[in-house]
A and B are shown apart, each in its own frame.
Chain A
Amino acid sequence: MTPPAVELKGLGKVYDGIVALAEVNKVFEAGRVHALMGKNGSGKSTLVKILAGAVTPSSGEIFVNGSRVVFGSPRDSFSAGIIAIHQELSLVPSLSVGENIYLGRLPKKRWLGQSIIDWDALHRNAAKLLEEMALSIDPRQLVGTLSLGQQQIVEIVKAMSFDPAILLLDEPTSALATREVEQLFGLIRRLSARGITMIYITHRMNELFAIADHCTVLRDGRLVGTVAMRNTSAESIVEMMFGDVGRAHRPERRLIDRSKAVLEVRNLTRRGAFADVSFDLHRGEVLGFAGLMGAGRTELLRSIFGADPFDAGLIRLDNRQVRKPNPKAMKRFGLGYTPENRKEVGLVQILSSHDNLCLASIGNMSRSGYTNRRREAPLVRKQIRDLDIKIPDPMRTVSSLSGGNQQKVVIGNWLNTKPRVMFFDEPTRGVDVRAKQQIFEIIWRKAEEGLAVVFVSSELEELLEVTDRILVMRQGRIVDEVEPTAISLGDLYKLCMEGVS
């Protein structure tokens, strides 16, 4: 009997006292496609990171092909025959397919006593590799000219050129169109037939049934179980993922006047991102957007805010049509937006907390352009107090703060502009539990005062807890509207996923 490709014994990981993965015992048989499921924070990315050698486990043992291994770095995992393919591609767009595959180890030949690159051999080898996997991609083509799906495939081909035994695929389809997903699945099936073991993370239920042999479900860092795909159903997998979840605690909410909308969006379309989106947002309302990654929620908010263009549709703020929104104009209209990636674009990391709290409002604060920090100080103090931001010294750079406090600075920056509509895009990402609760309370309090809020989160529990109404987006379209008090977590998850209903 062949030993299992990977065996985990009592594998655990503790981050700063918080258990991310606990006592996982699991056998991954060779030559199969193993799906790994679980909601955000279930520990599946920790598990994959451990297997990829990026994270060292706190406890437990790993066996590859029957022999015990210890991964101190990605290099160790690589030499054990494991290659991880992440969502972010590691290809150089301006180089050819062949060169990307052999980057860092280009074949050489001797010419006039010198070692030079053997381009013929490179393209010959690459062509052979592509042919073996039945792919019709020209190795001389530039990667930048390929579609995203083809690039994803080249990434896998590159991994295969190292002749690994095990591939880790982390949501490889989240950015792909349906047709491209089919191509990718074709490749995965062929590799599986060749005996490659694959561990595949996805959020898309229909993919599981199309591609996986087994599905392993994690919840709160623990292994819930493994089922064979041919004798299970989507319902039972969702059941395994969520278990019995108690109703979220929600504060008493005031009745919302829905007679007049503050923000009206009609048939908004941006090709390749979202299509035909219409909704109303009312004064004092917290409207949630649910959906999987790539469903178009962030893209929609960015287009309404004017950070990105759109192709068709209508935006009305207070009954006034906004023809070509841009962030500056929308700010004047009273719209604010806290972006999802706060580290990169929400804050100017090298400036102080004070300056970051005044970023959006410097124009409004200063009559005739004059301003000084003493005059801004009351506003800075007000936000620090209202949002309970832990700042030892507002003049220190904002990068010295914790994630939660940084997020509060981003929020305070916008509240200083006295907005009437706020978009919060993933405001709790990378934020600790206490700060998360405080952010919810800020949102509720501001909504009580009349602020109209759009709340986007990948954590469905949060949507159920925070919002008054939830719109569900799937592949760029709004597919459903639900009452958070009248739906269970599992049902909401099923709505977000394709191919369940």
Chain B
Amino acid sequence: MDDERLRGPAATVAAGNVSGMNTSESRRMGATVIRLFAMEAILLILILALVAAAPGFATLGNLLNVLRTVSMLGIIAFGMTAVIISGEIDLSVGAGAALAGCIVAWFAGALSDYTGPAAALLIGFIVALAVGFSTGVLSGKIRQLFNVPTFITTLALFTALRGAANLVTGGFPLTTFPDWFSFFGAGALFGIPFPVFVFAGVFVIMQFLMKYTSFGRAVYAVGGNAEAARLSGIDVYGVKTLTLAITGVLTAISGTLLASQIGSGVGTTATGMELDVIAATIIGGTSLFGGKGRVWGTLLGVIFLGCISNGMTLMNVSEYWQLVVRGVIIVGAVLLNQVLERIR
């Protein structure tokens, strides 16, 4: 599908008989354009509508703010995209992000006196990454060895990691960070919030990984038909486990940025974040049945969700209505994708 997009509808049409194009062909071309760029078009319309309707939406400051907010979500969503394409799910990312922030804060408090704050934070960060990686490997291995769906294991991790995060902090915010540490979550470089750089970097890496490596191609095969992939000599569970481990690592990175932004390690951070991450991935066109989806689509989905909540807040829509609208959007996006599938 990706390549079809790259070549674009123009190429698709050029392959046909352009000079003798009749109405049915031009309708098909119209359908192709709609199918390929539906999400882009909808996002564009949404942004134009918000520019017109939401006071203050189109200011640079606000847009950077939107980007900062969606970055935390998006970093994880790119990993989640791979997990869902491989036919699995990870419900533990919100709790995992909280745990990562708390681990970093704990190490900052415990080691700063001996190693200095920079080294303590670095050690904490590395430990957080290792924990994120390991929980991913754990759910992957349990899937492989005991055939327990990742929905179950990551649901268990969802509560267990939340508990662990609060155990690390003792239930109170750990304000152990030196002042300069807030740069990572709240600071800006050349006027652009720092998390946006991480967001962009992760996007490029995941885009490359999913499109230009045999691992990425195996993810699609495994999610599309696990048995066919196995009979083609692909290590099905190795691939699934790796997507979960990558998501664990990205979750740890996002959680550290969140802690830096808040200025402390808090056990209750990122509550419900997993649902936003999954929602953004699905809005971006990734199929929960596996085998289908794009990192690019997830980028659009993440920005879409960010714009919607920001716009509604600016328009003073109540928080309760925002939740309802979001629910409608998730179902709408899935229905839209189903309809687009049928136009051919």
Residues on A close to B: CB < 8 A? 305, 307, 327-328, 330-332, 337, 339, 344-352, 355, 358-360, 362-363, 365-366, 369-373, 393, 395, 413, 417
Q: Does any Cβ of A come within 8 Å of B125's Cβ?
A: no
Q: 21 A–B contact pairs at CB < 8 A?
A: A331-B233, A337-B231, A345-B231, A346-B228, A347-B228, A348-B221, A348-B225, A348-B229, A349-B224, A349-B225, A351-B221, A352-B1, A355-B220, A360-B232, A360-B233, A362-B234, A365-B214, A366-B213, A371-B212, A395-B4, A413-B232
In whole angstroms, what is the CA distance A457 to B71 when docked? 56
In whole angstroms, what is the CA distance A351 to B1 when docked? 8
Tell me, rounded to whole Å, the shortest Cβ–Cβ distance linking A38 to chain B.
32
- Additional pairs, 8, CB under 8 Å, beyond known A370-B212, A371-B212: A344-B225, A345-B225, A348-B229, A359-B229, A360-B234, A369-B213, A371-B213, A372-B211
The reply to whether A359 and B214 contact each other, CB–CB distance below 8 Å, is: no
Interfacial chain B residues near A413, Cβ < 8 Å: 232
Interfacial chain B residues near A363, Cβ < 8 Å: 214, 233-234
Q: Decide: A307 near B231, CB < 8 A? Known: A348-B225, A348-B291, A349-B224.
A: yes
Interfacial chain A residues near B4, Cβ < 8 Å: 395
Tell me, rounded to whole Å, the shortest Cβ–Cβ distance linking B57 to chain A.
38
User: Which chain A residue shows the least CB distance to B213?
Assistant: A369
The reply to whether B214 and A371 contact each other, CB–CB distance below 8 Å, is: yes
Interfacial chain A residues near B229, Cβ < 8 Å: 348, 359
User: Which chain B residue shows the least CB distance to A375?
Assistant: B212
Chain A CB within 10 Å — which of B1, B15, B221 has the most? B221
Within 8 A of A (CB), among B230-277: 230-235
B 35-46 binary contact with A (CB < 8 Å = 1; else 0): 000000000000
Q: Decide: A371 near B217, CB < 8 A? Known: A328-B235, A348-B228, A351-B291.
A: yes
Q: Which 3 A-B pairs have the closest CB atoms?
A: A331-B233, A348-B224, A362-B214
In whole angstroms, what is the CA distance A151 to B224 when docked? 33
Q: Decide: A328 near B233, CB < 8 A? Known: A345-B225, A345-B228.
A: yes
Interfacial chain B residues near A393, Cβ < 8 Å: 15
User: Which chain B residue shows the least CB distance to A358?
Assistant: B217
Tell me, rounded to whole Å, the shortest Cβ–Cβ distance linking B123 to chain A.
30
Q: Does any Cβ of A come within 8 Å of B25's Cβ?
A: no
In whole angstroms, what is the CA distance A328 to B230 when docked? 8
Interfacial chain B residues near A339, Cβ < 8 Å: 231
In whole angstroms, what is the CA distance A330 to B235 when docked? 12
In whole angstroms, what is the CA distance A359 to B228 when docked? 9
Secondary structure at the A interface, as helix, strand, loop or mixed, is mixed
In whole angstroms, what is the CA distance A331 to B224 when docked? 21
In whole angstroms, what is the CA distance A359 to B211 when docked? 14
Q: Does any Cβ of A come within 8 Å of B292's Cβ?
A: yes
Interfacial chain B residues near A350, Cβ < 8 Å: 224-225, 291-292
B224 is contacted by which of A327, A328, A351 (Cβ under 8 Å)? A351
Interfacial chain A residues near B211, Cβ < 8 Å: 372
Q: Does any Cβ of A come within 8 Å of B319's Cβ?
A: no
In whole angstroms, what is the CA distance A413 to B225 when docked? 15
Q: Does any Cβ of A come within 8 Å of B218's Cβ?
A: yes
B 157-199 binary contact with A (CB < 8 Å = 1; else 0): 0000000000000000000000000000000000000000000
Interfacial chain A residues near B227, Cβ < 8 Å: 344-345
The reply to whether B214 and A355 contact each other, CB–CB distance below 8 Å, is: no
User: Which chain A residue shows the least CB distance to B289?
Assistant: A350
Tell me, rounded to whole Å, the shortest Cβ–Cβ distance linking B228 to chain A.
5
Secondary structure at the B interface, as helix, strand, loop or mixed, is helix
The reply to whether B233 and A327 contact each other, CB–CB distance below 8 Å, is: yes
Q: Decide: A330 near B292, CB < 8 A? Known: A346-B228, A348-B228, A355-B220.
A: no
In whole angstroms, what is the CA distance A344 to B229 when docked? 11
Chain A CB within 10 Å — which of B218, B225, B292 has the most? B225
In whole angstroms, what is the CA distance A135 to B212 when docked? 62
In whole angstroms, what is the CA distance A355 to B212 when docked? 13
Tell me, rounded to whole Å, the shortest Cβ–Cβ distance linking B204 to chain A.
15
In whole angstroms, what is the CA distance A330 to B227 when docked? 16
User: Which chain A residue shows the least CB distance to B287?
Assistant: A350
Interfacial chain A residues near B213, Cβ < 8 Å: 366, 369-371
Q: Decide: A307 near B230, CB < 8 A? Known: A348-B291, A363-B214, A372-B211.
A: yes
Interfacial chain B residues near A346, Cβ < 8 Å: 228, 231
A330 is contacted by which of B1, B228, B233 (Cβ under 8 Å)? B233
Q: Does any Cβ of A come within 8 Å of B3's Cβ?
A: yes
Interfacial chain A residues near B291, Cβ < 8 Å: 348, 350-351
Within 8 A of A (CB), among B289-320: 291-292
Chain B CB within 10 Å — which of A332, A344, A347, A369 has the most? A369
Interfacial chain B residues near A331, Cβ < 8 Å: 232-233
Chain A CB within 10 Å — which of B227, B228, B230 has the most? B228
Tell me, rounded to whole Å, the shortest Cβ–Cβ distance linking B111 to chain A.
36
Chain A CB within 10 Å — which of B1, B15, B217, B291 has the most? B217
Interfacial chain A residues near B224, Cβ < 8 Å: 348-351
Q: Does any Cβ of A come within 8 Å of B151's Cβ?
A: no
Interfacial chain B residues near A348, Cβ < 8 Å: 220-221, 224-225, 228-229, 291
In whole angstroms, what is the CA distance A351 to B287 when docked? 13
Interfacial chain A residues near B214, Cβ < 8 Å: 362-363, 365-366, 369, 371
Interfacial chain A residues near B232, Cβ < 8 Å: 327, 331, 359-360, 413
User: Which chain B residue shows the least CB distance to A359?
Assistant: B232
B234 is contacted by which of A305, A328, A332, A344 (Cβ under 8 Å)? A328
Interfacial chain B residues near A349, Cβ < 8 Å: 224-225
In whole angstroms, what is the CA distance A358 to B229 when docked? 11
In whole angstroms, what is the CA distance A372 to B230 when docked? 21
Tell me, rounded to whole Å, the shortest Cβ–Cβ distance linking A93 to chain B.
17
User: Which chain B residue shows the least CB distance to A373?
Assistant: B3
The reply to whether B3 and A395 contact each other, CB–CB distance below 8 Å, is: yes
Tell me, rounded to whole Å, the shortest Cβ–Cβ distance linking A300 to chain B.
15
Tell me, rounded to whole Å, the shortest Cβ–Cβ distance linking B291 to chain A.
5
